[in-house]
Chain A
Amino acid sequence: MQIYLPIAELPVNIILLLALGCIAGILSGIFGIGGGFLLTPFLMFIGVPPAVAVATSANQIIAASVSGFLAHWRRMNVDIKMGLLLLLGGFVGSTFGVWIFALLKFAGQLDLVISLTYVLFLGFVGTLMGIESSRTILKKRKGIAETANRGKWVRSLSLPLQTYFPRSETTMSALLPILVGIVAGILVSIMGIGGGFVLIPAMIYLLGMPTNIVIGTSLFQTIFTTANVTLLHAIGTNSVDIVLAVILIFGAVVGAQIGTRISSRIPAERLRWMLAVLVISVCLKMGIDLFITPEDPFVIELLLGR
Chain B
Amino acid sequence: MNNKLTVYFSTFLLMVLLCISSTQASARPIVADLSVRSIDIDHDFTGIDVLLFGAKQDPGDIVVVVRGPEKPHVVRKKERFLGVWANRESVSFNNVYQYYSVAATKPLDKINNQSLLDILAIGVEGLSPASITTTDDIDDFKKALIKQKQESNLYSNKIEKISFWGETLFRTVLKFPKNIPGGTYTVETYLFSDGQLNSMQVTPIHVSKIGFEEFMYDFAHNRSLLYGVLAIALAAAAGYVASWVFRRY
Measured CB to CB, the residues of A under 8 A from B are: 2-4, 6-7, 9-11, 47, 59-60, 62-71, 74, 108-109, 111-112, 115-116, 223, 227, 230-231, 233-235, 238, 240-243, 245-246, 249-250, 253-254, 256-257, 261, 290-294, 296-303, 306
Cβ of B18 < 8 Å from any Cβ of A? no
CB-nearest residue of chain B to A292: B85
Give which listed residue, B73, B213, B249, contacts A300 with CB less than 8 A. B73
Asked whether, in the complex, the Cβ of A257 is within 8 Å of the Cβ of B246, the reply is yes
CB-CB nearest 5 A-B residue pairs: A66-B239, A234-B228, A253-B242, A298-B144, A70-B243
Give which listed residue, A59, A293, A296, A301, contacts B231 with CB less than 8 A. A59
B224 smallest CB distance to A (angstroms): 5
Q: When A6-B216, A290-B85 are in contact, do A231 and B232 touch as well, CB less than 8 Å?
A: yes
CB-nearest residue of chain B to A234: B228
CB-nearest residue of chain B to A298: B144
Cβ of B71 < 8 Å from any Cβ of A? yes
Asked whether, in the complex, the Cβ of A249 is within 8 Å of the Cβ of B238, the reply is yes
Interface size on B, residues (CB 8 A): 62
Asked whether, in the complex, the Cβ of A238 is within 8 Å of the Cβ of B235, the reply is no
- How many residue pairs between the two chains, A and B, have CB atoms under 8 Å in the bound complex? 192
B194 smallest CB distance to A (angstroms): 39
Point out the residues of chain B lying under 8 angstroms from A292, CB to CB.
85
In Å, the complex CA distance between A9 and B46 comes to: 11
Asked whether, in the complex, the Cβ of B79 is within 8 Å of the Cβ of A297, the reply is yes
In Å, the complex CA distance between A116 and B86 comes to: 11
B213 smallest CB distance to A (angstroms): 4
Asked whether, in the complex, the Cβ of A306 is within 8 Å of the Cβ of B72, the reply is yes
Cβ of B87 < 8 Å from any Cβ of A? yes
Asked whether, in the complex, the Cβ of A4 is within 8 Å of the Cβ of B43, the reply is yes
Cβ of B116 < 8 Å from any Cβ of A? no
Point out the residues of chain A lying under 8 angstroms from B246, CB to CB.
71, 257
- What would 13 A/B residue contacts be, using CB atoms closer than 8 Å? A6-B216, A7-B217, A9-B181, A67-B238, A70-B243, A70-B244, A74-B243, A234-B225, A240-B228, A253-B242, A257-B243, A257-B246, A303-B71
**Told that A234-B231, A257-B242 touch, could you supply 14 new A-B pairs with CB distance under 8 A?**
A4-B41, A6-B216, A6-B217, A10-B178, A59-B235, A63-B236, A63-B242, A111-B86, A242-B216, A242-B234, A253-B239, A296-B148, A299-B77, A301-B75
Point out the residues of chain B lying under 8 angstroms from A11, CB to CB.
44-46, 178
Q: When A112-B87, A234-B228 are in contact, do A299 and B75 touch as well, CB less than 8 Å?
A: yes
Asked whether, in the complex, the Cβ of B76 is within 8 Å of the Cβ of A62, the reply is no
Asked whether, in the complex, the Cβ of A300 is within 8 Å of the Cβ of B74, the reply is yes
In Å, the complex CA distance between A259 and B60 comes to: 68
In Å, the complex CA distance between A14 and B231 comes to: 19
Asked whether, in the complex, the Cβ of A2 is within 8 Å of the Cβ of B86, the reply is no
Give which listed residue, B152, B232, B242, contacts A256 with CB less than 8 A. B242
Cβ of B119 < 8 Å from any Cβ of A? no
Point out the residues of chain A lying under 8 angstroms from B75, CB to CB.
298-301
A229 smallest CB distance to B (angstroms): 10
CB-nearest residue of chain A to B177: A10
Asked whether, in the complex, the Cβ of A59 is within 8 Å of the Cβ of B232, the reply is yes
